[in-house]
């Protein structure tokens, strides 16, 4: 990339680094430039080329700042790289799945950001809301990773958003996911280990229990494919054979933390297949938020990639549909209903 293309034509704000931010990470200082963004969005803004330091684009969120550095927000950050998921946006555009006022449920495809980046031109579910529901003002209540597909809950009022957060705190807002894990999950298991936010692009799982059940991740095996059938599944998805077994797993969380399912799966020795960040390969992972349950508001949807597995033994579509339906309509605790057990404090407890 030429030097001129790494400069922005216009900027919207600037900050000269003083004692407050000297020695701190770049993404932390960006929050002072864009206070409406969370730390995760600030990190993405840096990585997408939306921040200049001393007149040059810097794409390292963890870069240490020096006194006198001048930070600016670029008006038009570079377009992010195309996602590796073959069913990515815009092949399957976002859409309204349903509503149960004051809540609305939207579908976010893989390869689309949830939140809009400050000053960014790249599409996001948030930036597309006016076209999806032109006569509504919606507040997104959840965020999914760039490569994660599935439903996202939104609210029309601040009161509804507050009620949603209160339900999460009581562990009454339950989310069901479907994932392809690298390895064989032999029985249901619940990961209770605490997740540490390191301030970087990844999180770290600690070998200590977190007392809040809303922060746990429950995993349930739906279909286990041996090496041969796993190769057939990979071929159906347009991927190279994983060289071992795969598991179609259901996952359940409450409040959720950044990368929670991905990190807990890797901690158990069963990373998401294709999750390069947490040890599952380098091809792009398959994770889908398929069901949401809150008193008076239920929604579910199948992942777009699942139908590609129709000819692979196990009938993945039927197995996933049964679990999502049961999860969405069940008022009981998933751990009791599906016989999940506490995860051991060692990450090799399932090996």
* Helix, strand, coil distribution of the chain in percent, nearest 5: 25, 25, 50
- Name, in order, each residue with C-beta under 8 angstroms of 51's C-beta and a sequence gap of 6 or more: 26, 30, 33, 45, 57, 58, 71, 72, 73, 74, 77
Q: What is the DSSP letter of 58?
A: -
Give the mean model confidence (pLDDT) for residues 222-243: 94
How confident is the model over 175-194, as a mean pLDDT?
96
pLDDT at 143: 92
Rounded Cα distance between 268 and 277, Å, is 15
- pLDDT band at 274; cut points 50, 70, 90: very high
Q: Give residue 118's pLDDT.
A: 60
Please report which confidence band the pLDDT of residue 120 belongs to, taking 50, 70 and 90 as the band edges: low
Q: Pairing state of beta strands 149-155 and 287-294?
A: parallel
Q: Residue 347 pLDDT > 50, yes or no?
A: no
pLDDT tier at 281, thresholds 50, 70, 90: confident
Average pLDDT over residues 134-141: 87
The rounded mean pLDDT for the chain is 82
Which one, of 138, 131, 75, 79, lies nearest residue 105 by Cα? 138
* Residue, of 300 and 62, whose pLDDT is higher: 300
Give CA 115 to chain center in angstroms: 12
Report pLDDT digits (tens) over 243-269: 999 999 999 999 888 899 999 999 999
Q: Which of 243, 225, 143, 232 is nearest to 180 (CA)?
A: 225
Residue among 255, 225, 259 at smallest CA distance from 243: 225
Averaged over 218-224, what is the pLDDT? 97
What pLDDT shows up at residue 75?
60
Q: What is the pLDDT of residue 190?
A: 95
Q: Which residue has the higher pLDDT, 332 or 329?
A: 329
- The pLDDT > 70 percentage for the chain reads 82
Whether 106 shows a pLDDT value over 80: the answer reads yes
Walk me through the domains of the chain, giving residue ranges and CATH numbers: 15-65 (3.10.290.10), 95-337 (3.30.2350.10)
Predicted TM-score (pTM) of this structure? 0.74
Where b means 16+ CB within 10 Å and e means fewer, 63-93 reads bebeeebebbbbeebbebeebbbebbbeebe
The encoded tokens of residue 270 equal: 């069963």
pLDDT given for residue 227 in this prediction = 97
Q: Is the dihedral of CA 304, 308, 313, 317 positive or negative?
A: positive
- CA–CA distance, 302 with 322 (Å, rounded to integer): 11
345 has pLDDT over 50: no
Element (H, E) at 203: strand 203-209
Rounded mean pLDDT of 294-321?
91
Q: What is the pLDDT of residues 37-78, one digit of tens each?
A: 767 777 777 877 778 888 888 888 888 899 999 998 876 434
| Residue 9: per-residue pLDDT | 31
Reported confidence tier of residue 11, pLDDT bands at 50, 70, 90: very low
* String of DSSP letters for 2-46: -TGGGS-S-EEEEEE--TTTTTSBHHHHHHHH-TTS-HHHHHHHH
| Token output for 80 | 């992010």
Nearest CA-CA partner of 245 in 232, 236, 263: 232
Q: What is the mean pLDDT of residues 141-152?
A: 93
pLDDT of residue 163: 93
Given a cut of 50, whether residue 158 has pLDDT beyond it is: yes
* pLDDT surpasses 60 at 284: yes
């Amino acid at each position: 990339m030429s030097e001129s293309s790494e400069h922005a034509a216009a900027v919207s704000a600037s900050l000269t680094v003083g004692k407050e931010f000297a020695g701190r990470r770049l993404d932390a200082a960006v929050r002072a430039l864009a206070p409406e963004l969370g730390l995760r969005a600030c990190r993405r803004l840096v990585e997408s080329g939306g921040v200049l330091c001393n007149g040059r684009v810097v794409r390292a969120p963890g870069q240490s700042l020096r006194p006198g550095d001048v930070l600016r927000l670029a008006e038009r950050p570079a377009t992010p790289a195309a996602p590796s998921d073959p069913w990515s946006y815009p092949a399957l555009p976002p859409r309204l799945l349903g509503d149960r006022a004051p809540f609305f449920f939207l579908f976010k495809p893989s390869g689309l950001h949830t939140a809009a980046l400050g000053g960014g031109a790249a599409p996001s579910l948030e930036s597309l809301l006016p076209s999806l529901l032109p006569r509504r003002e919606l507040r997104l209540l959840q965020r999914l990773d760039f490569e994660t597909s599935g439903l996202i809950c939104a609210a029309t009022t601040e009161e509804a958003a507050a009620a949603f957060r209160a339900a999460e705190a009581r562990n009454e807002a339950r989310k069901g996911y479907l994932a392809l894990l690298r390895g064989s999950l032999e029985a249901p298991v619940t990961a209770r280990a605490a997740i540490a936010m390191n301030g970087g692009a990844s999180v770290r799982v600690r070998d200590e229990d977190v007392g809040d059940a809303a922060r746990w991740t429950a995993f349930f095996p739906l279909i286990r494919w041996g090496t041969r059938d796993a190769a057939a599944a990979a071929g159906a998805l347009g991927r190279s054979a994983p060289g071992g077994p795969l598991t179609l797993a259901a996952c359940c969380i409450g409040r959720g933390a950044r990368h929670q399912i991905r990190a807990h799966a890797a901690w158990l020795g069963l990373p998401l297949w294709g999750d390069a960040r947490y040890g599952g390969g380098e091809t792009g992972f398959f994770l889908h938020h398929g069901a949401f349950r809150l008193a008076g508001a239920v929604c579910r949807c199948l992942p777009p990639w699942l139908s590609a597995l129709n000819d692979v033994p196990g009938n993945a579509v039927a197995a996933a549909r049964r679990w999502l339906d049961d999860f969405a309509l069940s008022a009981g605790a998933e751990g009791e209903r599906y016989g999940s057990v506490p995860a051991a404090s060692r990450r090799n407890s399932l090996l």
